[in-house]
Amino acid sequence: MIIFALETSCDETSAAVLSSSRGDLKLLSNIVFSQIDIHKQYGGVVPEVAARHHIQNVIPVVAEALQKAKIKPSDIDLLAVTTGPGLVTSLIIGVETAKVLSFAWKKPLLAVNHMYSHIAANFYGNKIQFPAVCLVVSGGHTEIIHLKNYRQYKKIGATIDDAAGEAFDKVAKLLGLGYPGGPAISVYAEKFTEKMQFPNIKLPRPMINSKDFNFSFSGLKTAVLYASDKIRNKDENYQIAMSHYFQEAAIDVLVSKTIRAAKKLKVKTVLMAGGVAANKKLRETLRNEAEKNGYKFIVPEFKLCTDNAAMVAVAAYYLSEKKKVPLNSYEKIKTDCNWELK
């Protein structure tokens, strides 16, 4: 089976081709056009600007994905597209393009939830032992998901205010590290050494001891602001030290709650997904804690953590088995842009 997938939920325009043969998945192409350089000047993603660039880039990205995979539209068995959650103005471009391709190529089209796609990135190249728990950390979401198998999952906790990625981005802005903030914080934090002449700052670990599996990051962000107010010399050492203290606090909470969920649910595997899962320190810390407690740990390779269409294609592969999509028949889809995880 050949799956062609499109992803335009935020500021990446992406198309991918996945082939499957008796359960063996192989990515034939995964083209990602990132708009980071365009949104940098505004300090964050501007929805209308993102939509306009999706309009310009979507067809070239589709063409490149087909070309790199060395396939023709007639080789495709199934089309898939992200229908939400995400920026509605961005989602519409991908959804409408996919509907037109589905009509023109006479191929069935499957609607895919963006958060399930992030989780499914873990399934590529890995046989998962279930039950599993997945820490989903992106720019818009922070959730703990309990997975019974590849298709049945339940949200057991989420942030009650800011998402983890949002906190990384806002703290980076406060420290003057620019956009995108997450990667900048991790680069600066890596330069930290105990020998640095910097006051030892104790940041809070919000909700680390709460019995539920929810998170809160807005207070941590404010604590960084108050701690910063006390520092006179806002030089590079300050940026390095504050990045380190913030990252440590965020990682402590994320890892501690995920491991507690793993213990309570008696899982076999701990997974991680979403853009913040690209954070090296978080990957190392969660891996160490998971393995120390006897769980198998899986995290997607870096380029499959941030938004991309390959993860949508993998998600579509697993969903198509459940939904029994009639292959080679054109099927209309409902475009529900508020499709949240149930």
For residue 307, state whether it binds Zn ion (rule: CB under 5 A): yes
Q: Is 258 in the site for ligand KG4 (CB under 6 A)?
A: no
Stretch that binds ligand KG4, among 123-131, 195-203, 253-261, 271-279 (CB under 6 A): 271-279
Distance CA 244, CA 251 (A): 10
Please report, for residues 13, 166, 256, 289, 293, the alpha-carbon distance to residue 252 in angstroms, rounded to integers and kept in the order given.
33, 17, 6, 11, 16
Indicate which of Zn ion, ligand KG4, none lies near residue 180 (CB less than 5 to 8 Å, by partner kind): ligand KG4
Size of the site for ligand KG4 (CB under 6 A): 19
Q: Which is nearer to ligand KG4, 62 or 254 (CB)?
A: 254
Of 46-54, 97-105, 163-171, 324-332: span binding ligand KG4 (CB under 6 A): 163-171
By CB under 5 A, tell whether 8 contacts Zn ion.
no
Q: 3, 77 in Cβ contact below 8 A?
A: yes
Among residues 90 and 138, whose Cβ is nearest to Zn ion? 138
247 in Cβ contact with 188 (< 8 Å):
no
Q: Which is nearer to Zn ion, 20 or 122 (CB)?
A: 122
Token pair belonging to 267: 């899982």
Near Zn ion in 117-146, by CB under 5 A: 138
What one-character DSSP code corresponds to residue 170? H
What mask, x for binding ligand KG4 by CB under 6 A, covers residues 184 to 223? Answer: --x-------------------------------------
Task: Verify binding: residue 143, ligand KG4, rule CB under 6 A.
Answer: no
Check if the beta carbon of residue 192 is closer than 8 Å to that of residue 237: no
Residue from 62, 92, 276, 319 binding ligand KG4 (CB under 6 A)? 276
180 makes contact with ligand KG4 (CB under 6 A): yes
Q: Smaller CB distance to ligand KG4: residue 2 or 34?
A: 34
239 is an interface residue for Zn ion by CB under 5 A: no
Tell which one of 79, 171, 278, 309 touches ligand KG4 (CB under 6 A): 278
Closest CA to 264 of 144, 138, 118, 128: 144
Closer to ligand KG4 by CB, 66 or 168: give it. 168
The helix/strand/coil state of 73 is helix
Q: Given phi > 0 = left and psi -120 to 50 = alpha, else beta, which region is 86?
A: left
- Provide the 10 A C-beta neighbour count for residue 30: 23
Cβ proximity to Zn ion: between 166 and 307 the closer is: 307
* 83 lies in the site for Zn ion, by CB under 5 A: no
Q: Taking Cα atoms as reference points, which of 219, 175, 227, 177 lies closest to residue 199?
A: 227
Kindly state whether residue 157 participates in binding ligand KG4, applying the rule CB under 6 A. no
What residue has token string 């991918």?
16
C-alpha pair distances (Å), 118 with each of 123, 124, 146, 247: 10, 11, 14, 22
Altogether, the residues listed in the chain come to a count of 342
The residues of the shown chain that bind Zn ion, judged by CB under 5 A, are 138, 307
The residues of the shown chain that bind ligand KG4, judged by CB under 6 A, are 10, 138-140, 165, 168-169, 180-183, 186, 274-276, 278-279, 306-307
